Structure 1
Amino acid sequence: MNLKEMLNLADKIVFEKTGQHLDDLQEAVLRGTLQRETYKQIATDFDCSESSVRKVGAELWEILSEELGEEVSKSNFRSAMQRLQNSNVVNFAQDVVVSSTFNVCAGSRQPPDIPNSHPPNEETSNTKPTKTSHQDLSEMPELGVLYDRTSELDTLTTWILQQRCRLIALTGISGIGKTALATQLVAQIKDEFEYVIWCNLDESHTPDEFQHKLIQFFSQSENLNSPPTNQKPLPLIKYLQKYRCLVILDDIQNLFISGELAGKYKSGYEEYRSLFKQIKTLFHQSCFLLIGWEQPREFSQIESQNIPSCTLQLTGLDIAAGWQILKDKGLAEIDNYSELIHIYQGNPLWLKSVATLIKELGGCVSELLQDDPILLPEDLKDNLQQTVSRLSDWEKQVLSLLARESNGINLAKLLENTKIPSSDLVNVVQSLLRRCLIEPQESFYTLPLVLKQYMITTMYR
């Protein structure tokens, strides 16, 4: 069992005993114990007194000892949880437990990530809780054709349903197919959740308004299943802990300011940082999927093990999927389709745009591409202009320099040929990488051919 699985299993035990999930300090004590930290280290990390940590620890060991039927302490917590998993007494996957000391009724809600268990007998293995699903997908685009993306779908499904990631960023250059992938994903997994909502973020979604929208959705749906009361709605995190929720936020880049490096929040939107941090760090059983050209700076492209957040950066389609797009546009018979797909990097939007242009001009690719191998239809230029207009002046400097070079450029040459201080240049390059606008090739950086052509066109206009 890994750290996350042990925490989830402990949460289940505590919930069945007390009716409450682990709070922040309880989770910190268990996490620190599994990471072999002292009470003093845990207290320092959590910014509280050592006596508070010791008191919470003692309460947890008492609960776990009663429920597991053995003496559990800080020194043997890991081994006790491992023995529980290996005992085959507990069947969390089917919501059934058969034990003289630990009795869970079928229908109780389960926490994330309960590993490898099997039904104790055939009679109880088919007993599953009835889940009422509330879905607001009014803002989700219509489910269209998804070209391939099988491996990406599998990755996201694993992260969400098996690994129980709490916060996921789906990123990539405009037109690469992020939203199309997400709609297909939601269609496949939405029935695994009690609450599902899709939100397209725009200027109206201030942090307070956004949280109010979610709380209203959860509380109104909750009231449909219970007698009316005068009880006030819970804080957002409480709903995420109480129910298994899937929240999709599309166009996340609208939270960030144009003209700055990637991921800087607009004035008045900074509270989203605290919200995403809370979703990432506090224990709950829900998932937020963020979709956009940019991602919050709190995300790392390389996440550490046991951190409940992930980033999936979409790249272009392969030749077979790209050819299917050309075929659907009526260009199935062209000779050099693989070259066309390579030039436009398997970007679905770019391929559809250039295929439409070629088809409307008669479909003779060889003549169209003889003098200018990279065509830029007006709608494609509009799309690229929208992307480039969000960049800082320093980022535009780097793109202009890369556009003039036939080969890649390393950091030393970028520093030599721009007026960007070295301490800032690395942040500029990181921002462009996170926007998927430049490509690393060993120690060099290059521009996609389409973007290079656009930059040249705008520089000499």
Structure 2
Amino acid sequence: MSLEEALKIADKIVFEKTGQHLDDLQKAVLQGTLKRKRYRQIAEDFDYSESCIRGVGAELWKIISEELGEDVNKSNFRSAMERFHNSNILNFAENVSGSFNICEKERHSLDTLNSHQPNQQTPHPTQPATRHQDLDEMPELGDFYNRTTELETLTTWISEQHCRLIALTGIIGIGKTTLAVKLVQQIKDNFDYVIWRSLETSPTFAEFQADLVHLFSQSQPQNSLENRQKPLPLIKYLQKHRCLVVLDDIHHLFSSRELAGKYKPGYEEYDSFFKQIEKLSHQSCLLLIGWEQPIKLLQLKSKKIPIPILQLTGLDVASAREILRDYGLTEIDNSEKLIHLYQGNPSWLKSVATQIQELEENLIELLPDDAILLPEDLKDNLQQQSDRLSQPEKQTLSLLATKNQPISLAQLLETTQTSPSDLLNTLQSLYRRSLIEKQENLYSVPRVLREYYIESN
């Protein structure tokens, strides 16, 4: 179905319900939805606030849902239009000069006809009334390279062990969000509600809670007792329904230039909410994704409360080779060495592969063996994470970057005036950010990071 056809059908549905055709703003929201744009992108395109665009969208989904008799939202709008287009009701309506004014008698006759054809599908296949998915902020999956083990781990934690709070962390570009998108696509039908929110704009907890409470209250039937009552706290909705809530970019809740996981002033209410998620009885799951996780979350784990944390590492060699193959670099020599140098990081490998592809396919062979390529977009990504580091972390990283071999804690203490306690806290923070490696009590900085920090100092 083309964009124009879907808009035409939506216009007829809205006109049948309200007596008015779609206005320009409603058309803009539907066009953006059909082009898989987020509300934020639609708002920017048409110079409106995101809250205004969300409100227009919510009203449209409500009108269309009531008219079609199924739960229509931003995620399934196109498929709902296609189902309606192929249904007997649409065929009948088109024969009445496109008026869409089907009287109740004719509706009854059509229903009676269908009731005598048991093998024929009903005109409007509907989702269960309790199935609601608000995934307009979830990115498209894009290229996905083998993460079978990680997917199985997350699925087991959520579907079999019923973990309430899960953290997915790792360095920038490692593929956290992509993995989570794939996970949601596989398990979303097991939940009454599936919600994806990005915290990139750093909403306060009050704003975040109001957003989700509004979503829950809007999804209730208008005449339901729950809808007539004063809105409940967010945790109550998560107890009443089985929900999967994904919070991406959680590091935006934490202070820059501090050790990892310290909340920004005014954002401590999230900590209380996460504790409620973990301690209270419910069947929902909250998945946190980011470069760093709350310190207090990690402290809860130390009390033998099962809070699984998956610190994502690079792709294996076979999977990483698929990236090089996608960039036409299947014949490149030393491809395995290149993969190891860039730690199997999908984003880093794509950046380097692009540079090699644009300049010369045997570029690696022309460079010294110890050369590390740092394309500008790769440096920009590393700079984002570097900007969040505290001064002690930057000093320790710079020191480690000058060492060609891993060094011990004792050697580090000999080369710095930092107290043992402060140094350990700094190393712990860097490790949680996936910026250093630790093997047998020896610490080191990966080659790409080492080259970047040497060059930037």
TM-score (normalised: structure 2): 0.70
Q: CA deviation at 1:412?
A: 1.6
Q: Provide the rounded CA distance (Å) in 2 between the counterparts of 1:371 and 1:304.
A: 44
Q: Provide the rounded CA distance (Å) in 2 between the counterparts of 1:135 and 1:423.
A: 47
Distance 1:261 1:440, change over 3 A: same
2:224 to 212, 223, 226: 226
Does the CA-based 8 Å contact 1:197-1:248 persist in structure 2? yes
Alignment gaps of 5+ in structure 1: 1-128
Residue correspondence of structure 1 range 351-370 to structure 2 within 5 A: 351-370=349-368
Q: CA deviation at 1:388?
A: 1.0
Q: CA deviation at 1:230?
A: 2.9
Q: Provide the rounded CA distance (Å) in 1 between the counterparts of 2:137 and 2:227.
A: 30
Residue correspondence of structure 1 range 338-353 to structure 2 within 5 A: 338-353=336-351
1:440 to 438, 441, 451: 438
Residue correspondence of structure 1 range 38-53 to structure 2 within 5 A: none
Q: Provide the rounded CA distance (Å) in 2 between the counterparts of 1:241 and 1:403.
A: 48
Partner of 1:178: 176
Tell me which stretches of 4 or more aligned residues in structure 1 moved more than 6 Å: none
Partner of 1:384: 382
Cα shift readout 1:245-275 (whole Å, capped 9, x = no counterpart):
0000000000001100000101111111111
1:268 to 263, 266, 269: 266
Partner of 1:191: 189
Distance 1:353 1:218, change over 3 A: same
Q: Provide the rounded CA distance (Å) in 1 between the counterparts of 2:138 and 2:266.
A: 26
Q: 1:328 aligned to 2:321?
A: no
Partner of 2:236: 238
For the residue of structure 1 that corresponds to 2:146, the secondary structure is coil
Partner of 1:426: 424
Does the CA-based 8 Å contact 1:193-1:245 persist in structure 2? yes
For the residue of structure 2 that corresponds to 1:309, the secondary structure is coil
Residue correspondence of structure 1 range 89-168 to structure 2 within 5 A: 132-168=130-166
For the residue of structure 2 that corresponds to 1:299, the secondary structure is helix
Q: Provide the rounded CA distance (Å) in 2 between the counterparts of 1:394 and 1:161.
A: 41
Cα shift readout 1:104-151 (whole Å, capped 9, x = no counterpart):
xxxxxxxxxxxxxxxxxxxxxxxxx95621011000000222111000
Does the CA-based 8 Å contact 2:244-2:285 persist in structure 1? yes
Alignment gaps of 5+ in structure 2: 1-126
Q: Which structure has more helix as a fraction of its residues?
A: 2
Q: CA deviation at 1:203?
A: 3.4
Does the CA-based 8 Å contact 1:299-1:311 persist in structure 2? no
Q: Provide the rounded CA distance (Å) in 2 between the counterparts of 1:224 and 1:260.
A: 47
Q: Provide the rounded CA distance (Å) in 2 between the counterparts of 1:299 and 1:131.
A: 35
For the residue of structure 2 that corresponds to 1:283, the secondary structure is coil
Aligned residues: 331
Cα shift readout 1:272-331 (whole Å, capped 9, x = no counterpart):
111111111111110000000000112339946972421000001111011000000111
Q: CA deviation at 1:419?
A: 2.6
Q: Provide the rounded CA distance (Å) in 2 between the counterparts of 1:130 and 1:254.
A: 35
- Give the counterpart letter for 1:234 in structure 2: L
Q: CA deviation at 1:372?
A: 5.2
- Give the counterpart letter for 1:214 in structure 2: L
Q: Provide the rounded CA distance (Å) in 1 between the counterparts of 2:303 and 2:266.
A: 33
Q: 1:414 aligned to 2:415?
A: no
Partner of 1:74: none
Q: Provide the rounded CA distance (Å) in 2 between the counterparts of 1:457 and 1:317.
A: 26
Q: 1:404 aligned to 2:402?
A: yes
Q: Provide the rounded CA distance (Å) in 1 between the counterparts of 2:152 and 2:445.
A: 29
Q: CA deviation at 1:172?
A: 0.3
Partner of 1:291: 289
Does the CA-based 8 Å contact 1:263-1:295 persist in structure 2? yes
Q: Provide the rounded CA distance (Å) in 1 between the counterparts of 2:371 and 2:227.
A: 67
Q: CA deviation at 1:365?
A: 3.2
Q: CA deviation at 1:216?
A: 1.0
Superposed CA RMSD: 1.9
For the residue of structure 1 that corresponds to 2:288, the secondary structure is strand
TM-score (normalised: structure 1): 0.69
- Aligned sequence identity (%): 64
Distance 1:306 1:132, change over 3 A: farther
Does the CA-based 8 Å contact 2:202-2:253 persist in structure 1? no
Distance 1:320 1:401, change over 3 A: same
Does the CA-based 8 Å contact 2:220-2:227 persist in structure 1? no
Q: CA deviation at 1:396?
A: 0.6
